[in-house]
């Protein structure tokens, strides 16, 4: 980004942190309504360049801001996210607002209910500005599969923001929201967080309710926050985590104070420092040299902060992408069967029979990548192939999960690059689906194993492109991942 022409295409502006914003709201020096309006002004100015928001929920946001201001004026105790402007990935439903999942097949759909993570944020005082662009049905690693056009990376508008939660990551990096929600089925929060230089959290499977999340692959899907710094991301996870009677897969385990946990040093007085595992399999062929150097610098910083660093072995890593793309597409083929033009969304006009109507609606409503994945998944589940593909993938999935359990008996966290490469150019990988799938090589394993992780900024390449470090921790041990992420952040690489 040396040339002037290119630096003009940089829209990076980091939002203020939650504590600072909240203090202003509590003191009355900042009005939630003014804050919301200033965000809408910035969105109006910059969104046309980045294509981050698909729709705005202005009326609802301003009503919520007014409620917050009223509480503040009365001196009522304010909830933790009082007046904080946030954005929601368009795969999470909001009552009465368009929810497209980035697909034409849901054009015009205004769901009659709120997703649980959405209602939890609002109950905590957040002001929800609008719905964020993403790859269609969260299928993609670059946000180029959105039916509503790609999101551009605020760091360099010629490059992709990552995917599928590209809008959620770009919104934070360009200060078009203080924080956002995304979803992560194979890396869809962590990889865009890495590409845009923000923090992204993959909570443990079951930690956050998926009620109201438009499903892609139900045994892998998670909802999680993206924010400008680790402590804010930890605070947000604390708000949205917890059991939900409307999601039978949600965990009843108590929700720790993640922000307070993240404040703990890596080495507490009189105790051994956290043990960090480094898997050689994540530093093998295909890893960009500059990304490697930054991650190694991050690991040295963790050592300096009192961690013990040791190698761990995850030998099945190379089978993760094939396993993931069989499991995810099989589940997707079942989940996406519901889009048939009968009850909501797009219906192809002028079909003679019911069967034609299904086919035409789905053919016209779905994009190429969604069709590819439905076909692959249907193939893997079809008679004669089920054992060879789907069952085999589920067996390998167990091997992958078990080797993580073994590793976490020895270490508190595992650190890797989030992505093997820095953000790539728009159009660079669209012609080759397999090359795009390989962009997820370091992130799909955590989804398959059900474990949690955080992607935290870990410096930039010489060209100024962000590098992210992925910190993985055992089931329900988000606290460890946040502590390590805080230390990487504090190193200021």
Partner 1 sequence: MGDKQGMTAKVTVEDVERVAELANLELKPEETPAMLRDLNAILEYVAELNELDTSGVTPLAQVSELVGGLLDGSGKSQLRADQTLPSLDRATVMAQAPETDQVFFKVPKVIER
Query: Catalytic site residues?
Result: 89, 164, 188
* Interaction of residue 346 with partner 1, rule CB under 8 A: yes
Using CB under 8 A as the binding rule, the residues of this chain from 433 to 492 that contact partner 1 are 433-434, 437, 449-450, 475-476
Q: Is residue 16 close enough to count as binding partner 1 by CB under 8 A?
A: no
Size of residue set near partner 1 by CB under 8 A: 82
A 10 A CB-CB count for 123 gives: 11
Comparing CB distances to partner 1, the nearer of 55 and 308 is: 55
DSSP H helices, 17-107, are 18-27, 32-50, 58-74
Q: Does 344 contact partner 1 by CB under 8 A?
A: yes
Site for partner 1 in 48-87 (CB under 8 A): none
Query: Which residues inside 378-407 make contact with partner 1, applying CB under 8 A?
Result: 378-379, 382-389, 391-399, 401, 405
Nearer to partner 1, 37 or 351 (CB): 351
DSSP letters of 341-353?
SSSSS---S--SS
With contacts defined by CB under 8 A, name the span among 11-19, 48-56, 114-122, 325-333 that binds partner 1: 325-333
Residues in contact with 214: Cβ distance below 8 Å, sequence separation at least 6, in sequence order: 91, 92, 93, 99, 101, 106, 137, 138
CB 459 within 8 A of CB 299: no
Q: Choose, by CB under 8 A, the member of 234, 295, 357, 454 that binds partner 1.
A: 357
Per CB under 8 A, 337 contacts partner 1: yes
CB of 378 to partner 1, least distance (A): 4
Decide whether 41 or 386 has the Cβ nearer to partner 1: 386
Pick the stretch among 114-122, 173-181, 249-257, 291-299 that binds partner 1 (CB under 8 A): 249-257
Q: Which contacts qualify for 117-120: CB closer than 8 Å, 24 or more apart? A: 117/92, 117/181, 117/208, 117/209, 117/212, 117/213, 117/223, 117/240, 118/88, 118/92, 118/93, 118/94, 118/181, 118/212, 120/239, 120/240, 120/242
Taking the alpha carbons at both ends of the chain, their separation in whole angstroms is 18
Indicate which single residue of 205, 211, 424, 442 sits in contact with partner 1 (rule: CB under 8 A): 205
CB of 458 to partner 1, least distance (A): 28
The distance of Cα 273 from the centroid of its chain, to the nearest Å, equals 29
Report yes or no: 86 and 61 within 8 Å, Cβ to Cβ. Answer: no
Give the range of 85-93, 361-369, 410-418, 460-468 binding partner 1 by CB under 8 A: 361-369
Q: Which residue has the tokens 């410096």?
A: 459
Residue from 62, 275, 359, 491 binding partner 1 (CB under 8 A):
359
Answer whether 115's CB lies under 8 Å from 212's CB.
Answer: yes
Neighbours of 27 (CB within 10 A): 9
Q: Residues 106 to 125: which contact partner 1 by CB under 8 A?
A: 109-113
Q: Least CB distance from residue 277 to partner 1, whole Å?
A: 18
Instruction: Provide the token pair at 375.
Output: 């076909």
Q: Which stretch binds partner 1 (CB under 8 A): 184-192, 223-231, 356-364, 414-422?
A: 356-364
Residue 216's Cα: distance from chain center in Å? 14
């Amino acid at each position: 980004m040396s040339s002037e022409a290119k630096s003009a295409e940089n829209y990076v502006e980091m939002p203020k942190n939650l504590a600072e914003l909240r203090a202003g709201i509590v003191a009355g020096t900042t009005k939630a309504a003014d804050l919301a309006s200033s965000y809408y002004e910035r969105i109006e100015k910059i969104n046309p360049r980045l294509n981050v928001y698909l729709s705005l929920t202005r009326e609802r946001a301003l009503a919520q801001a007014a409620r917050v201001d009223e509480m503040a004026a009365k001196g009522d105790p304010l909830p933790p996210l009082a007046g904080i402007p946030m954005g929601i990935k368009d795969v999470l439903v909001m009552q009465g607002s368009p929810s497209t999942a980035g697909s034409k097949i849901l054009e015009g759909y205004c769901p009659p209910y709120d997703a649980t993570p959405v209602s939890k944020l609002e109950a905590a005082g957040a002001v929800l500005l609008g719905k964020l662009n993403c790859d269609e049905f969260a299928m993609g690693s670059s946000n180029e599969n959105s039916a509503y056009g790609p999101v551009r990376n605020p760091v360099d508008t010629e490059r992709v923001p990552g995917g599928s939660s590209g809008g959620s990551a770009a919104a934070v990096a360009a200060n078009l929201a203080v924080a956002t929600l995304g979803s992560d089925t194979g890396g869809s929060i962590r990889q865009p967080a890495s590409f845009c230089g923000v923090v992204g959290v993959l909570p443990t499977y079951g930690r956050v309710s998926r009620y109201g999340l438009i499903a892609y692959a139900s045994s892998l899907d998670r909802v999680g926050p993206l924010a400008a710094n680790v402590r804010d991301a930890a605070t947000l996870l604390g708000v949205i985590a917890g059991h939900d009677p409307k999601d039978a897969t949600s965990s009843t385990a108590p929700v720790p104070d993640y922000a307070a946990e993240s404040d703990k040093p890596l080495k507490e007085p009189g105790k051994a420092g956290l043990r960090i595992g480094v898997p050689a399999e994540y530093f093998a062929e295909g890893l960009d040299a500059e990304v490697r150097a930054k991650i190694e610098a991050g690991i040295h910083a963790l050592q300096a902060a009192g961690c013990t660093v040791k190698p761990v072995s995850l030998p099945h890593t190379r089978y993760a992408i094939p396993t993931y793309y069989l499991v995810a597409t099989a589940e997707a083929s079942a989940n996406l069967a519901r889009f048939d033009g009968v009850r909501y969304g797009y219906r192809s006009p002028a079909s003679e029979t019911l069967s034609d109507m299904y086919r035409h609606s789905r053919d016209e409503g779905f994009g190429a990548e969604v069709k590819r994945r439905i076909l692959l998944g249907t193939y893997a589940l079809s008679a004669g192939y089920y054992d060879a593909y789907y069952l085999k993938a589920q067996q390998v999935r167990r091997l992958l999960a078990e080797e993580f359990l073994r590793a976490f008996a020895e270490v508190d966290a595992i650190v890797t690059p989030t992505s093997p490469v820095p953000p790539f150019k728009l159009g660079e990988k669209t012609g080759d689906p397999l090359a795009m799938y390989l962009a997820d090589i370091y992130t799909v394993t955590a989804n398959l194993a059900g474990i949690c992780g955080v992607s935290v900024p870990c410096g930039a390449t010489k060209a100024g492109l962000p590098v992210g470090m992925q910190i993985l921790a055992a089931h329900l041990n988000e606290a460890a991942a946040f502590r390590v992420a805080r230390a990487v952040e504090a190193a200021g690489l």
